[in-house]
């Protein structure tokens, strides 16, 4: 009897060791992928001042044109995210992730070689398609591999790659801009093609939960044995649910049939958050230049903004796992609104930098928490579509962010007025979050594999 118990314990220990290795690889690959997503987000903002002041780079660029160029990539993200929502729920998470890594890397390299406004805008749009596919799929992957009770934390760790990548872009721009120029900075964004993609090809498995949800139970069990990932407790019900007239509808059909109002509110909430993220990451350096700081100093604000987002999201995720993501997201939006208002108070530099860090928590950090909220809100066979909806529809706000910033920066508005407007956007996001209903349906939680 004791020997049997010992054998079971040894087998369970071996399975857990496999699981840890698999989760570490998956989360690490996902984190690095989003690191370059964040790099892509801010590298343009770091170069805007160069484009505005040096027409030999792309031609004449006005604040309005700069805002439009910043939005082209986000239109691509919208397209890529919406396409990935259907493809990810039907063909699997792994294939979409590999495609995204290769696509956006090639797009970044192509952007570095452009010499006109039109070509720059076109390649930014194409790059955005890969970024959108990546963002839309990563949250689903994290939700399906992360241990129970720590999904928000793991999501925050992985999605901290976005502000960390933004931080990296700002730091590299400060150190390398004068040496390698904006083209060199964009070429750095192509590195995943020769680094991340090969690793992901060999180390990124398909999702066991997704395979079970598609009715491929034998494949799911084989993969679970190889990777140590546990089969969903409700795997038979998960497969049977594919023929259910309500809960069985997959991807977009199930999304809008089962969660119509919540989906609309979550999409609008994401759009509000991304409007703040992209407006600040694109225009904060320029606004700080106008406030009297030099070029290096203005980029330092961008570093602090994204550093605050990383730390704040990790702290917020621990609270979200314990008390629920909804209230945490609403509180972070509100905190961001207050911090943006405080930017107008004329604080000394040290205090101002601390306030900017809190702004990072209330904008990019909040968006990280939103992806965790959304990924764990939906059941498995609509999860990728749900995240894609928020990443895609949300990019409408992202598209509007640089345009709004360009309008405000080029329209003669006082800095105080610009910050008042952005603070009102953050407050609106808090209200939207409060309006989102909760998922108390036990059956849906079972089917989600949570």
The whole-angstrom separation of Cα 237 and Cα 66 is 52
pLDDT tens series, the chain, 450 aa: 555 556 656 666 777 778 888 888 999 999 999 898 888 877 887 788 888 888 888 888 888 888 788 778 878 888 888 787 677 777 788 888 999 999 999 999 999 999 899 999 999 999 999 988 888 788 778 878 877 777 777 877 888 887 788 778 878 888 888 888 889 999 999 999 999 999 999 988 888 887 887 778 888 888 888 887 777 765 455 444 444 444 456 566 677 777 788 888 888 988 888 888 878 877 777 777 777 666 566 667 777 887 888 888 888 887 887 777 888 889 889 999 999 888 878 778 788 888 888 888 888 788 878 877 887 777 767 777 777 787 778 778 877 777 787 777 777 788 788 888 889 999 999 999 988 876 544 344 444 444
Are 372 and 317 a contacting pair, CB within 8 Å? Answer: yes
Catalogue the E-assigned strands of 14-124: none
How many beta carbons lie within 10 A of that of residue 368, not counting itself?
Answer: 32
Residue 72 covered by a domain: yes
Domain extent for 326: 13-447
Residue 7 covered by a domain: no
The DSSP output letter for 207 is P
Residue 3 covered by a domain: no
Residue 437 covered by a domain: yes
Q: What is the pTM of this model?
A: 0.71
Are 360 and 304 a contacting pair, CB within 8 Å? Answer: yes
- Tokens representing 346? 């004329």
- Domain at 354, CATH number: 1.20.1250.20
Residue 176 covered by a domain: yes
Number of folded domains in the chain?
1
Residue 442 covered by a domain: yes
The whole-angstrom separation of Cα 189 and Cα 61 is 23
Name which of 93, 57, 19, 44 is nearest 375 in CA terms. 93
What are the C-alpha distances in Å from 266 to residues 73, 86, 144, 147, 301? 22, 18, 20, 24, 29
Residue 99 covered by a domain: yes
Residue 217 covered by a domain: yes
């Amino acid at each position: 009897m004791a020997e049997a118990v010992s054998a079971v314990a040894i087998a369970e220990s071996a399975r857990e060791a496999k699981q840890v290795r698999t989760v570490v690889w998956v989360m690490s690959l996902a984190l690095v992928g989003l690191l370059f997503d964040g790099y892509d987000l801010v590298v343009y903002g770091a170069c805007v001042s160069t484009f505005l002041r040096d027409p030999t780079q792309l031609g004449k660029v006005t604040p309005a044109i700069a805002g439009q160029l910043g939005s082209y990539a986000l239109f691509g993200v919208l397209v890529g995210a919406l396409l990935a929502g259907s493809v990810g729920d039907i063909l699997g998470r792994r294939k979409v992730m590999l495609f995204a890594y290769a696509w956006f890397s090639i797009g970044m390299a192509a952007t570095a070689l452009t010499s006109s406004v039109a070509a720059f805008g076109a390649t930014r749009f194409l790059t955005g398609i890969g970024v959108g596919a990546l963002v839309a799929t990563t949250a689903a992957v994290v939700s399906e591999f992360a241990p129970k009770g720590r999904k928000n934390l793991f999501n925050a760790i992985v999605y901290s790659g976005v502000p960390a990548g933004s931080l990296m872009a700002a730091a590299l721009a400060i150190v390398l801009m004068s040496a390698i120029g904006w083209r060199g900075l964009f070429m750095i964004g192509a590195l995943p093609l020769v680094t991340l993609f090969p690793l992901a090809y060999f180390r990124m498995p398909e999702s066991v939960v997704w395979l079970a949800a598609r009715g491929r139970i034998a494949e799911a069990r084989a993969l679970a044995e190889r990777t140590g990932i546990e089969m969903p407790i409700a795997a038979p019900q998960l497969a049977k649910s594919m023929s259910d007239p309500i809960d069985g509808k997959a991807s977009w059909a199930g999304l809008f049939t089962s969660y119509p109002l919540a989906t609309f509110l979550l999409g609008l909430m994401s759009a509000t958050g991304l409007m703040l993220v992209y407006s600040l990451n694109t225009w904060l350096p320029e606004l700080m230049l106008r406030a009297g700081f030099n070029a290096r100093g203005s980029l330092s604000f961008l570093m602090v903004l994204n550093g605050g987002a990383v730390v704040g999201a990790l702290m917020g995720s621990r609270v979200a796992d314990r008390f629920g993501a909804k209230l945490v997201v609403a509180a972070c939006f509100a905190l961001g609104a207050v911090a943006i208002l405080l930017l107008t108070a004329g604080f000394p530099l040290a205090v101002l930098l601390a306030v900017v860090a809190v702004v990072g928590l209330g904008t990019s950090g909040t968006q990280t928490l939103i992806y965790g909220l959304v990924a764990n809100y939906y059941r498995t066979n609509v999860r990728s579509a749900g995240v894609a909806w928020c990443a895609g529809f949300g990019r409408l706000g992202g598209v509007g962010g640089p345009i709004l910033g360009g309008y405000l920066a080029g329209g003669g508005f006082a800095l105080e007025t610009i910050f008042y407007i952005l603070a009102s956007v953050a407050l609106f996001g808090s209200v939207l979050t409060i309006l989102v209903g909760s998922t108390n349906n036990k059956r849906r939680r079972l089917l989600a594999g949570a």
